[in-house]
Amino acid sequence: MRRRPPGCLPSSSRCDLAQRILQPGEIEALDRTAIPRIRLPERHIVFSARAERLRRLADGHPIAGYLRLMASLVDAQHQVLTDFSAPMPDSEEIARAQANSMPIANSLTTERGRAWHEVLRCLIDRIDALGTVTPAVGQLLDVLRTTSDVQLEAAADAVLSLRFAEIDPATAPFLMAALQVVWTDIATRLDIRDVPYLDTPGLCPVCGSMPVASIVRIGGPYHGYRYLQCGLCATEWHMVRIKCSHCDSTKGIAYHGIERGSEAGSEVGSEAGSEAGSEAGSEAGSEALKAESCDECHVYRKIGYQEKDYDFEPLADDLASLTLDLLMSEAGYRRASPNPLLWPQARAVA
């Protein structure tokens, strides 16, 4: 009897293996040169790292008090997330999302339930327990405590849909903080292989929300790649550089920042094809932050470079760079989407 060499498969098995179609996640796993498509948030550090970054950015900042208040709110998110568990998408919902290239847990269509109301009240209690809130903030927290469930649901619909005329800018950050806990919990427990590919690359593949900012990461398989970070669930997804994250155009892309030592300088990089002049600006002229503008849709979104500041955190650094927002507004550009922890008085998205 002829023996098969060790390690060889029978011809039928080789045929079956050759004919099996690999799924996208399996292909990426086999190809070490493939760009990681998704970075799901890490449950134990996503909020704690953000809070620490906000506290560091608050030192000497014109709005230090607000940044520290938001840092306390994010600390409370970290504490509440520890024991929170939201309903997860089932296998049918996952299959439907993949088949239709739509978010796996769409924030506009997924049943929220009332658990987030309790999350909101826990966040309020933890902030109040600090004993450092101003009378105005204390009054705001009391208003949120007495808001009816029906009113909370209407407010949640408004902030998730970006219906600015219906949003109270003072209460919106606290509402969003509670909703962030819910969707971040979901994102941290997903299997990355289940996350669909979307037809609309500028939306989060997990919850369908808009990104708050982007980051060019360093280290490991993410080195040198740009990721958009969701403002709701903190999921990050890859997008090529020098491309508008709002309208997907590669034309008329420029980079703006505040020069070191100036209050309102502007540094503009070249258009598509180069990212020369990578310095960027925040209130103090940070080299890690820039505003990426698009002359096709006339909007901008901030981008950070981890090689310039390893601790760059998209949401926190975006919040702490309001001078750059003013600079871009004066230059005729609009924000692509608001920061979840600071809401505009009027509609800011076209």
Give the pLDDT confidence score for residue 195 in this predicted structure.
97
Question: Is 140 within a domain?
Answer: yes
How many separate domains does the chain show? 2
Assigned domain for 273 exists: yes
Is it the case that residue 49 has pLDDT exceeding 50?
yes
Same domain, 87 and 172: yes
User: Confidence band (pLDDT; 50, 70, 90) for 31?
Assistant: low
Average pLDDT, the chain: 86
pLDDT at site 279? 34
Checking if the pLDDT of 146 tops 80, the result is yes
Could you read off the pLDDT of 86-138 as tens digits, one per residue?
A: 999 999 999 999 999 999 999 999 988 899 999 999 999 999 999 889 999 99
How far apart CA 120 and CA 292 sit, in angstroms, is 34
What SS3 state is found at 8?
A: coil
- At residue 271, the pLDDT reads 34
pLDDT (0 to 100) of residue 23? 54
pLDDT value at 252 more than 60: yes
Together in a domain, 127 and 242: no
| pLDDT digits 0-9 by tens, 231-242 | 999 999 999 999
Q: How far apart are CA 61 and CA 320, in angstroms?
A: 8
Residue 316 has pLDDT above 70, yes or no: yes
List the domain range (segments joined by +) for residue 62: 46-192
Helix axes 115-129 and 64-81, enclosed angle (nearest 10): 130
**Average pLDDT, stretch 65-78?**
98
Can you list the positions of beta strands (E) in the chain? 38-39, 211-216, 226-230, 236-238, 253-256, 289-294, 299-305, 334-335
The answer to whether residue 341 is domain-embedded is no
Helix and strand counts by DSSP (H, E) for the chain: 11, 8
Note the pLDDT of residue 200. Answer: 85
Same domain, 236 and 164: no
The reported pLDDT for the residue numbered 199 is: 86
Of the ranges 7-21, 68-82, 97-111, 247-261, which one carries the lowest mean pLDDT score? 7-21
pLDDT band at 261 (very low <50, low <70, confident <90, very high): low
pLDDT tens-digit profile of 177-225?
999 999 999 999 999 999 999 988 899 999 999 999 999 999 999 999 9
The CATH number given to whatever domain includes residue 128 is: 3.90.1670.10
